[in-house]
């Protein structure tokens, strides 16, 4: 069974600070996706990374896929209260046609 470990599980910081969330596995994934989920809603796709070493930027969010395609990170610059939510990483299993999700990082940005 492929597992994705996210860290930290909980993070509470002040507005304007920077943060990094990590997603690690011992398995290789064909792609890795990041989602953000707000209470009462389903997860919403933020980005998909496919190539080892790939870096994608989405405004203040920077996503990186590890060279070996086993891990990923999400860095947020100058966090804002609107960034509050549950961030989930998900790896696409090379053999099966489904996403394996990490347990999530619950992020709270305090004004």
Q: Footprint of another protein on this chain (CB under 8 A)?
A: 6, 30-31, 33, 35, 40-45, 48, 88, 90, 92, 96-104, 106
34-44 CB burial, b ≥16 within 10 A, e <16: bbbeeeeeebe
By beta-carbon proximity to another protein, the closer residue of 1 and 14 is 1
Cα 42 from Cα 25, distance rounded (Å): 24
- Residue 99 CB, nearest approach to another protein (Å): 7
- Residue 17 CB, nearest approach to another protein (Å): 24
By beta-carbon proximity to another protein, the closer residue of 30 and 77 is 30
Distances in Å between the Cα of 71 and the Cα atoms of 26, 90, 111 are: 8, 10, 31
């Amino acid at each position: 069974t492929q597992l994705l470990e996210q860290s930290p599980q909980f993070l509470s910081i002040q507005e304007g600070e920077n943060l990094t969330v990590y997603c690690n596995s011992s398995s290789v994934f064909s792609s890795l996706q990041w989602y953000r989920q707000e209470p009462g809603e389903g997860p919403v796709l933020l980005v998909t990374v496919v190539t080892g070493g790939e870096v994608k930027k989405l405004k203040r969010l920077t996503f990186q896929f590890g060279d070996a395609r086993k891990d990923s990170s999400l860095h947020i610059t100058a966090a804002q209260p609107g960034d509050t939510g549950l961030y989930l990483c998900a790896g696409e299993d090379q053999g099966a046609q489904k996403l394996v999700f990490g347990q999530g990082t619950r992020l709270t940005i305090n004004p």
